Structure 1
């Protein structure tokens, strides 16, 4: 599954969604500026063109109040963007986190400024690294279901994805490292 959004900085917002297979859905939102750009304003002409692939999560146990979300975000545009948060109907808060080692102890911490997605680069959100935390879960995430998640980007704005809920212990949507049935 692939989700795509293109956003020329300072001009127009386009958000698109493309699913694997024959079906495709394209959403466009336009917000045009009436101000003209000065000549040579290269940064104003830069754009973020985000391609989000393989969004997934792990099933959670009853009473568990947090879950993780993972995916790959490629910025094929000429301008950097930043993942700043999001929302989902299944959790009270969506936060961007990283994991680091301090004195031999692995610690998770929130990235209060979000996560930069550099122009021409790809950032992978995965267990043990950068990831999204779904805080204050309202119900358990169940294996096999899809969960709506709206990601918020500094430049591209909101982008909707569907998380595929994988088994506990899964390392990705292909089931690598997961518990087989």
Structure 2
């Protein structure tokens, strides 16, 4: 009887050890996944990814959306976009920090981009409003050239595709 108890006790310990090893392996994969996300950031610099604007007529407004990947060890700040002949003015909009329920994006002076992270500007959350377009923007037409400005990283010239929905929704 003691021998049977001892054997069952060892089987239980073996099972616990196997569970611990499996949990450790799962935790290791999660950590590697987090490291891969960080590794995919541009090393030591800031980059604008997947910029796009909504179609609009000449003289109207459009919204600029994008992902900002900050691979630097310090935060940076989105200040807006340089005014160009292509539009009259630009304003950053973002949801207030205390937004609850059906909050609307409000004009803000800047948008902080934390270190080692991606911030995605998407409809109903954060975006740049470009007013007084100097040209019409047609879906699938020529890319729209915009110069985005950051406090530390300076000016970044991007070509925004003209589309009605984010690139991730069309794939």
Question: C-alpha distance in 2, partners of 1:62/1:119?
Answer: 37
Would you say 1:150 and 2:147 are equivalent positions? yes
Contact 2:76–2:152, Cα closer than 8 Å, also in 1: yes
Q: CA deviation at 1:102?
A: 6.9
Paired residue for 1:96, among 88, 92, 97? Answer: 92
Query: 1:91 is paired with a residue of what secondary structure?
Result: coil
Alpha carbons 1:71, 1:126 under 8 Å: kept: yes
| Matching residue of 1:73 | 68
What is the number of equivalent residue pairs in this alignment? 126
**Larger helix share, 1 or 2:** 2
Q: Is the CA contact (8 Å cut-off) linking 1:58 and 1:68 kept in structure 2?
A: yes
8 Å Cα contact 1:149-1:160 kept in structure 2: yes
Instruction: Give the Cα separation in 2 of the matches to 1:123 and 1:103.
Output: 20
Counterpart mapping for 1:81-92 below 5 A: 81-87=76-82, 88-92=84-88
What do the CA deviations read for 1:128-170 (whole angstroms, capped 9, x no partner)?
111111112223211122111001100011110001001xxx3
Tell me the TM-score normalized by structure 2: 0.65
3-state secondary structure, aligned to 1:137: coil
Q: Which structure has the larger Rg over C-alpha atoms?
A: 2
* Aligned pair partner of 1:129 in 125, 129, 133: 125
- In the TM superposition, residue 107 of structure 1 has moved relative to its aligned partner by 2.5
Indicate the structure whose relative CO is greater, using CA pairs within 8 Å and at least 6 residues apart.
2
- Is 1:48–1:155's contact at 8 Å kept on the other side of the alignment? no
For the aligned residues, what is the CA RMSD? 2.5
Q: Which runs of 5+ in 1 are unaligned?
A: 1-46
When normalised by structure 1's length, the TM-score is 0.61
Partner of 2:7: none
Q: 1:59 to 1:79 in 2, by over 3 A?
A: same
Note if contact 1:50-1:77 (Cα within 8 Å) is conserved in structure 2.
yes
Alignment partner of 1:57 is 2:53:
yes
1:1-181 correspondence to structure 2 within 5 Å: 49-61=45-57, 65-87=60-82, 88-99=84-95, 105-112=102-109, 114-144=110-140, 145-166=142-163, 170-173=164-167, 176=170
Using the TM superposition, give the Cα deviation of residue 57 of structure 1 relative to its aligned residue in structure 2, in angstroms: 0.8
Counterpart residue number, 2:26: none
